[in-house]
Structure 1
Amino acid sequence: MLSCLKKPLTVGTLLAAAALSLPGVAAAATAGPVDLGTLPGDQFSDVAAINAAGTMVGQSYPQDVRLRYHPVKWDRQGRISALPTLGGEQGSAVAVNDAGVAVGWAFDGHEGVHAVRWAPDGSVTALPWAGSSSDAGVISRTGVVAGGGVDPQGTRVSLRWAPNGSVTPLATLPGGGQTHVTGITGDGALLSGEATDAAGNQHAVRWTATGAITDLSPGNQGNPGATAAAINDFGVIAGTVTEAGRPAPVVWKRDGRQVRLGWPASPASATPRAINRAGVVVGSGYVDFAEDRAVRWSASGTTVLEGARRSAAVALNASGTIVGNVESVAARWDADGTETILGTLPGGQYSWATGIATDGTIIGRSDRSYGWHAVYWPAS
């Protein structure tokens, strides 16, 4: 497996490059990922999140048309253990905070689906909700949990659970329908998400701890509408608005002010995926049919991280190290833009990096002859 080391391209350089094709420079071999394996009897696994201590959470499942998910966690050494459900067979852990508290969903003994919280010792607690089903998607540093549920009328709503388990339904837009939480600040005071209005248009929104909603894109209409992909600890939200029928990248400051992010194509079409505490945003920008390029937006401007090949940046840590993929193989970009291709499991062709911890440990997945496995790349 080879690393590719390349300096970042500014937008001006990208536009000057013919057909966006600039050659990479091969470098020394690099170690591939570590296989996180599966529970006994399963063939596939996915890792969803990692905390600062190296605890990872996700799911393991068999090669079965029913896709029977089993919630799991891995320790810093990559050792897997099962997490309990509420008496049913299935569940999935999707987020974990630095205290080691994980959240997700699990079946009860009657196949009811409930949002759950797993303590560091693995014990499970159902989070209360009066509707027919619920699930948890994010957790703050302080233990605030958010997710969604189906209310007694059958409508999908968003929910916030305080550390003591009390639940607060999050407001919808006037006359609107479904909502979806996408992120939470470290203190749990603000949440990002998306909501539909009375006409069915999607809006980027923000909620406070009381459930009050702010429409961040009130004038934005049409398909695909507006999105709120992620929020940082200071309440800055990265997402998109619709311009000329395409998603244009923006951030919303804590005061609700919208700031346009640059992209050289016209009309603009780029999608933020993550934002760190420093306000650095990463994602991908569209350049041609089925072709995107990994991109970083920062105070110094727009930087195309990979100018020659199909790529995307999906996550970054506080130090500015970015992860994503290049031509369906996991990649890392250091803060100075240096690119490293991370490789695959032995016999695999594809891998994806999906998250990165404070210390630089990277999580993702890779194929191999008998299925997909969760993997991690230890911090160097």
Structure 2
Amino acid sequence: MTRTIPNSLLAGLTAGVLTATLGAPGVATAATRPRSATLCTIRPLPMPADVTHGEARAIDPTGRFIAGRGLRITGDVREELLLLWDGPRVTVAPSDPHRYLAAVNRYGVIVGSAFVDGTYRPWRYRDGRLEWLPAPATVSGSWPLGINARGDIVGHGSVEETETALPLLWPADRPGTVEVVDAPPNSAAQEIFDDGSIVGTAGASGGATTPTAWVRRPDGRIDRLTAPGAVPTWIRAAQGDWAVGGAGLDGDHVLMRWNLRSGATVPVHPGLPSVQDVNARGTVLGDRAVDRGDRLVPLPGAVPGAVIIMAWAIADNGTIVGSTNGTRLRPVRWSGC
């Protein structure tokens, strides 16, 4: 799971580091794992011998499939690649610096967007083939952000004339079609669950709409995810009964998670400066640490002044994927954290 459009891999290599985009008390508590002797470990993900740089950006909820990007350098030629790990096996597909991956489901289907002919076009990679997805005629760009087990895809489109966003659904049972989700105006749909629930944020493109997080239930009911003080709320990621994001304005916001069953808020550990993802257990992932509910667990692998780590996504079994960036960018996996 991962819900943002990243900078190009080449830009990350040039800069030498990757940057991540980017509570109030409640009555619910996040599920936590009992303390054990399990060690939090980091391991590199395998890459083909001719692929020199890479990163892991998304993992499916079961922890089986991992999606990322790599770079093959042959002389003066640099070729970006789409990478899909299934256990120790890695599949390589050609990509380009303007293609961004957003999510992968439990069957290894990847979705994302690509900048083509001056606009962002939605795509899907499955069974070894890249397929372009349709987009409404009214939008100037489209970005898939989430996919469930059956293959339903959600995201948003940008309406340039009104400077607003449309929440979009690409239904698996109606191939070649795209629909506008019945949701609050000016919204981005960010995640779709296996039961058809959709989570998103209104005010996705700014403008006059106050940012408001929401969940659309399978019966069409829409519940707003609020915070004390009626402040703006936004979603970063969601899985199972949990969503994570924040409340407040830029520069003055509080990170929080919501229990989607009750709507109650649960504080994010104050030592976590940002949120990247959340799994079905309510475990919140930051870029360099994990909020287990009862404790903050730093991710190993960083070396001050030499190696930077960046975590991007967490599976329901606790597997975390990301990268290390020292002399080169390398895809990694954390476990037991």
- Whether the TM-score (by the shorter chain) exceeds 0.5 is yes
Per-residue deviation, 1:261: 0.8
Q: Which residue of 1 aligns with 2:180?
A: 214
Q: Deviations over 1:181-235 (max 9, x none)?
A: 21222112x32111234534212232323214134346x3xxxx42222111112
Aligned partners of 1:34 and 1:345 also within 8 Å: no
Cα distance change, pair 140–36 in 1 and its aligned pair in 2 (3 A):
closer
Cα distance change, pair 285–68 in 1 and its aligned pair in 2 (3 A):
farther
Structure 2 CA distance for aligned equivalents of residues 161 and 55 of structure 1: 13
Which of structures 1 and 2 has the bigger CA Rg? 1
Per-residue deviation, 1:47: 0.8
Moved over 6 A (4+): 62-66, 133-136, 160-168
Q: Deviations over 1:232-266 (max 9, x none)?
A: 11122222112865422222223443221123465
Name which of 226, 240, 243 aligns with 1:281: 243
Please state if 1:374 is matched with 2:331: yes
The alignment-based identity, stated in percent, is: 22
Q: Which residue of 1 aligns with 2:68?
A: 58
Name which of 186, 204, 225 aligns with 2:167: 204
Structure 2 CA distance for aligned equivalents of residues 37 and 166 of structure 1: 23
Q: Deviations over 1:144-171 (max 9, x none)?
A: 66555789x9765445688797968535
Higher relative contact order (CA 8 A, sep 6+): 2
Name which of 327, 331, 346 aligns with 2:289: 331
Q: Which residue of 2 aligns with 1:227?
A: 188
Q: For residues 33-182 of structure 1, what are the structure 2 equivalents within 5 Å?
A: 33-36=42-45, 40=49, 44-51=53-60, 52=62, 54-61=64-71, 68-73=79-84, 76=87, 83-85=91-93, 91=94, 106=95, 138=103, 140-141=105-106, 146-147=111-112, 156-158=120-122, 169-172=133-136, 175-182=138-145
Structure 1 CA distance for aligned equivalents of residues 25 and 164 of structure 2: 32
RMSD: 4.3
Aligned partners of 2:272 and 2:286 also within 8 Å: no
Structure 2 CA distance for aligned equivalents of residues 344 and 194 of structure 1: 35
Unaligned runs of 5+ in 2: 1-22, 28-36
Per-residue deviation, 1:353: 2.1
Normalising by structure 1, what TM-score? 0.61
Q: Which residue of 2 aligns with 1:341?
A: 298
Query: Matched residue pairs, number?
Result: 294
Aligned partners of 1:72 and 1:80 also within 8 Å: no
Name which of 172, 196, 215 aligns with 1:251: 215
Normalising by structure 2, what TM-score? 0.68
Cα distance change, pair 245–40 in 1 and its aligned pair in 2 (3 A):
same
Structure 2 CA distance for aligned equivalents of residues 62 and 305 of structure 1: 39
Cα distance change, pair 66–280 in 1 and its aligned pair in 2 (3 A):
farther
Cα distance change, pair 185–266 in 1 and its aligned pair in 2 (3 A):
same
Amino acid across the alignment from 1:233: D
